[in-house]
Amino acid sequence: MIESSVSVWTRSWIVLFFGGFLTAASPAAFAADCPGHPDALGTSRTLVVDPRAHPRIGTMQYRETLPLKDHEVVLTFDDGPLPKYSNQVLQILADECIKATFFIIGNQAKANPEGVRKLVAAGHTVGTHSLSHPLTFEKMPIEKAEAEINGGIEWTSAAMTDPSALAPFFRIPGLLRAEGVENYLISRGIQVWSADFPADDWRHVSSDRVYQLAIQRLEAKGKGILLLHDIQARTVAALPKIIRDLKARGYRIVHVVPATADRPATPTEPVEWLLHPPSETAPIARWPSVPNFVFTQTMTLPAPGLADLNAMPSDQSPLPRRTKALANVAATLPVPERELFAIPEGSIEVLLSTTLSRRAAMRMAAADLSSAARANGRGYKGKAAASSHNRQTAHAAPAAKRAPQAKGTAPRPTRLASLKKRPQ
């Protein structure tokens, strides 16, 4: 059972001398004794979390992660148990006295219940990973998602001698999160686990590549939740090298268990649940967002009256007299008569409204201009008017055909300019 794994023998703790007083470090900060393996990495401490207080963890998808200190790591394994590889992973962890968290598939627990019991007996935390590991959680109906979640819980708890040992931890297959799925899990008090970095051991890569990715990504973040799979041969081959490097680089393993009535959550501050809490020495590059104000009611205010302006009814209006007089005049203007908008038939305006009549209108205008010039006795203006009439007529009727030449009349030759140079 998980409860039995929390009570462990602690190593002799270091006594620090400061200012003439002896102060003892917390026993939870040191790894448990590992008989037969004095150089084992061990488990540095046990972290007790309340799923309802922090329902979503893992910075690959969420804002919060586990409240780990620098160089602390939580190992997690998905998709088991598969005896061929899960038993080897279990032995590697036992040799190093490391406690991890396993997310079980319901069908795997149904097929290998003994593998689930081994995990519990070794003191590891056991959560669930759905019934059949479908990679469609982000789009499946919520009813189907609930059946997958409940089926995984049912078969995993059924495999245990004590079903209460099942932790209320759940990891969505493929990390394909959906809001409806998360809301359902949270309503049941189940904590949704993502991760802080994976090692890509589900891909077709070598065990060396799995080891490299695990260390590189851990070094980039400095701490966090590592996502692995205990059903892969490459993971079995890479795990000893990962543990060896964690030991060499000064990393420590943290075991996570859920809070119960008899086991309260580890005291933490909200800022500790952030992977990289903000520092007062580091400037913030983004401006705070404008808050959204919520108004209790919406109402329309009345227009101010004379009483609001401290004026008596007998006082004059605040508007100037001239403005008021103009407003009264504008209000009493008569409506224009209908005849003002009537256009007589045959006028130039009517003729200009159609394409065929524009030509006639142009001729009428030119004739009026010519007769007016003759009446004034100005010959040169008459010539100019006649010339203008000819131009306008030619412009108004561009499609008119020219008169055919008379028969027997020789056409006038067209003289072309020569391009040849004249002799000098």
Selected residue with higher pLDDT from 82 and 412: 82
* pLDDT band, very low/low/confident/very high, at 2 (cuts 50, 70, 90): very low
Percent of the chain with pLDDT over 90: 56
What is the arithmetic mean of pLDDT over 349-366? 67
If you average pLDDT over residues 6-11, what whole number do you get?
Answer: 35
pLDDT at 353 over 80: no
Range with the poorest average pLDDT among 68-77, 297-306, 366-375: 297-306
Mean pLDDT of all residues belonging to the chain: 80
Q: What does the pLDDT read at residue 23? A: 31
Question: In whole angstroms, what is the distance from residue 384 CA to residue 370 CA?
Answer: 9
With a pLDDT cut of 70, the percent of the chain lying above it is 65
Q: pLDDT per residue over 307-344, tens digit each?
A: 666 666 565 555 555 555 555 555 567 777 877 777 66
Element holding 216 (H helix, E strand)? helix 207-221
pLDDT single digits (tens) 81-115: 999 999 999 999 999 999 999 999 999 999 999 99
Helix (H) or strand (E) holding 220: helix 207-221
17-71 per-position pLDDT tens digit: 333 333 333 333 344 478 888 899 999 999 999 999 999 999 999 999 999 999 9
Contact call for residues 76 and 169 (beta carbons, < 8 A)? no
> Looking at residue 329, what is its pLDDT?
53
Contacts of 142 (CB under 8 A, 6+ apart): 180, 181, 184
Name the helix (H) or strand (E) containing 356.
helix 355-376
Q: How confident is the model at residue 16 (pLDDT cuts 50, 70, 90)?
A: very low
Q: Give the three-class secondary structure for 183.
A: helix
Termini Cα distance of the chain: 122
> How confident is the model over 116-126, as a mean pLDDT?
98
Q: What is the pLDDT of residues 243-266, one digit of tens each?
A: 999 999 999 999 999 999 999 999
Rounded alpha-carbon distances, angstroms, from residue 259 to 52, 149, 191, 276? 10, 21, 11, 24
Q: What is the mean predicted confidence (pLDDT) over 292-319?
A: 64
User: Could you give the CA distance from residue 89 to residue 233 in angstroms, rounded to a whole number?
Assistant: 10
DSSP per-residue string spanning 90-111: HHHHHHTT---EEEE-HHHHHH
Residue among 137, 170, 140, 176 at smallest CA distance from 153: 170
